[in-house]
């Protein structure tokens, strides 16, 4: 991806941005993460023209609740930019929120981007950053940043493998001697699992839930599947019963959702197997003595590990602070 611009050695970036499908994080050298809010924007329709209203945390409660004249827009979909205007406003919101710590205009920034992003997708992000008043941008491959943030020895002459599960995309990558040996992206992530949970409840139980309820349910299921108490292994969802057309609450055992999770993570296991099958024998042998590290906010560790271990025969370990690994890696690159 040689079309990415790079700073000269005399120009150090002011901050780094993990611009994710679900959340945007901003990192400052020597301080760490100073901004972490949902990647959401709200616009008001005035005579057919959108007017920016709010971004970030202030918009989260508006999802699926806004009146017709307000529209909630997600700047990114499946890991890449889909809305330049919303992305620009989100970046402006973030820069304004941390004003006083970095300069509001003319800043130089590191921004993470999926490894398989096209030149057009990268250029769209650069255009949004320019609209937000950012002077210079260096785009960094997210799997590499995540691997650094997870503490993988990417600079050594042996294979390091990462599965980075985001809200919109999942990337599998192998590194050695600071280089990317193999990578594969699957344009599905945590948001697709939210949709699968909602679809399961609708088709199997005739019960309708919203996107935020599905996301909350996914997180609760991910937390509770490791517990053994029958009382703790029951989850409740609030929504609308399609048989009565009335609001209601549905209680189900966590195990009822196992097929949904297993089907979702089997796709990642297949992609991981493909990457392993393309490695040189020596790199493949390195991974037998090590582990695959899983990072990202879209992880349900037990199901991901089980699927990959069953498909590939290699153990999987969840990184510490899995959802913050890209931001941590960007901070390292910012400071070194």
d(CA 27, CA 30): 9
Instruction: Give me the percent of the chain exceeding a pLDDT of 70.
Output: 94
Instruction: List, as one string, the DSSP characters of 240-290.
Output: EETTTTEEEEEEEEGGGGHHHHHHHHHHHHHHHHHHHHTS-HHHHHHHHSS
DSSP code of 319? Answer: P
Q: Is the pLDDT of residue 10 over 60?
A: no
The predicted structure's pLDDT at residue 79: 74
Q: Is the pLDDT of residue 8 over 80?
A: no
Question: Are 280 and 302 spatial neighbours (Cβ–Cβ below 8 Å)?
Answer: no
Q: Where are the domains of the chain?
A: 15-145+326-335, 151-188+260-323, 190-259
Q: pLDDT for 295-315, tens place per residue?
A: 988 777 778 888 998 999 888
Mean pLDDT of the chain: 89
d(CA 77, CA 40): 11
Is residue 113 within a helix (H) or strand (E), and if so which, with residue range?
strand 107-113
Q: Is the pLDDT of residue 101 over 80?
A: no
Average pLDDT over residues 188-214: 95
d(CA 296, CA 122): 21
d(CA 265, CA 316): 13
CB atoms within 10 A of CB 304: 26
Q: Would you place residue 3 in the very low, low, confident or very high pLDDT band (cuts 50, 70, 90)?
A: very low
List Cβ<8 Å contacts ≥24 apart for 176-180.
Answer: 176/283, 176/286, 178/154, 180/115, 180/141, 180/143, 180/144
Q: Which two tokens stand for residue 113?
A: 């981007």
Q: pLDDT for 202-240, tens place per residue?
A: 999 999 999 999 999 998 888 776 554 544 588 999 999
Q: Is the pLDDT of residue 127 over 90?
A: yes
Question: Are 304 and 165 spatial neighbours (Cβ–Cβ below 8 Å)?
Answer: yes
The predicted structure's pLDDT at residue 297: 82
Answer whether 151-188+260-323 and 190-259 agree in fold.
no
Rg (CA), the chain: 21
Output phi, psi for 320, to 5 deg.
Answer: -65, 135
Q: Is the pLDDT of residue 181 over 50?
A: yes
Q: Is the pLDDT of residue 1 over 60?
A: no
d(CA 222, CA 138): 35
Q: What is the CATH number of domain 151-188+260-323?
A: 3.30.420.40
Q: Would you place residue 9 in the very low, low, confident or very high pLDDT band (cuts 50, 70, 90)?
A: very low
Q: Pick 114 or 100 by higher pLDDT.
A: 114
Q: pLDDT for 61-91, tens place per residue?
A: 999 899 999 999 999 987 778 999 999 999 9
d(CA 152, CA 169): 21
Instruction: Give me the percent of the chain exceeding a pLDDT of 90.
Output: 63
Strand order in the sheet with 160-165: 179-186, 170-176, 160-165, 292-295, 316-318
Q: Would you place residue 56 in the very low, low, confident or very high pLDDT band (cuts 50, 70, 90)?
A: very high
List Cβ<8 Å contacts ≥24 apart for 201-205.
Answer: 201/237, 201/239, 201/250, 202/242, 205/250, 205/252
Question: Are 253 and 232 spatial neighbours (Cβ–Cβ below 8 Å)?
Answer: no
Q: What is the CATH number of domain 190-259?
A: 3.90.640.10
Q: Would you place residue 267 in the very low, low, confident or very high pLDDT band (cuts 50, 70, 90)?
A: very high
Name the least confident of 171-175, 289-293, 307-311: 289-293
CB atoms within 10 A of CB 50: 17
b/e sequence 205-238, b meaning 16+ C-beta within 10 Å: bebbbbeebbbbbbeebbeebeeeeeeebebebe
Name the least confident of 139-153, 218-232, 237-251, 316-330: 218-232
The predicted structure's pLDDT at residue 25: 96
Q: Is 314 exposed, middle or buried (0-12, 13-18, 19+ CB in 10 A)?
A: middle
Q: Which fold has domain 15-145+326-335?
A: Nucleotidyltransferase; domain 5 (3.30.420)
Q: Which two tokens stand for residue 301?
A: 């560790």
């Amino acid at each position: 991806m040689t079309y990415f611009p790079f700073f000269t050695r005399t120009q150090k970036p002011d901050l780094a941005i993990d611009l994710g499908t679900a959340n945007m994080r901003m990192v400052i050298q020597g301080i760490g993460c100073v901004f972490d809010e949902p990647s959401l924007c709200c616009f008001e329709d005035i005579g057919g023209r959108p007017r920016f209203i709010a971004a970030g945390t202030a918009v989260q409660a508006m999802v699926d609740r806004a009146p017709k004249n307000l529209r909630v827009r997600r700047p990114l979909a499946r890991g890449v930019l889909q809305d330049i205007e919303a992305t620009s406003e989100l970046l402006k919101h973030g820069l304004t929120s941390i004003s006083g710590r970095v300069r509001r205009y003319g800043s130089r920034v590191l921004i993470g981007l999926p490894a398989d992003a096209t030149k057009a997708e990268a250029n769209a992000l650069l255009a949004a950053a320019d609209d937000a008043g950012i002077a210079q941008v260096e785009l960094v491959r997210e799997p590499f940043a995540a691997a650094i943030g997870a503490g993988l020895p990417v600079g050594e002459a042996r294979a390091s493998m990462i599965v980075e599960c985001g809200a919109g995309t999942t990337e599998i990558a192998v590194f050695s001697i600071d280089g990317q040996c193999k990578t594969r992206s699957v344009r599905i992530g945590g948001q697709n699992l939210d949709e699968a949970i909602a679809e399961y409840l609708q088709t199997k139980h005739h019960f309708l839930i919203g996107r935020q309820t599905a996301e909350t349910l996914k997180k609760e299921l991910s937390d509770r599947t490791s517990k053994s108490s029958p009382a703790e292994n029951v989850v409740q969802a609030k929504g609308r019963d399609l048989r009565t057309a009335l609001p209601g609450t549905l209680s189900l055992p966590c195990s009822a959702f196992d097929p949904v999770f297993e089907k979702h993570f089997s796709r990642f296991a297949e992609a991981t197997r493909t990457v392993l099958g393309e490695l040189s024998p020596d790199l493949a042998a390195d991974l037998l003595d090590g582990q695959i590290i899983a990072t990202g906010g879209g992880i349900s560790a037990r199901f991901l590990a089980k699927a990959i271990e069953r498909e590939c025969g290699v153990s999987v370990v969840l990184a510490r602070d899995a959802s913050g690994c890209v931001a941590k890696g960007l901070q390292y690159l910012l400071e070194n």
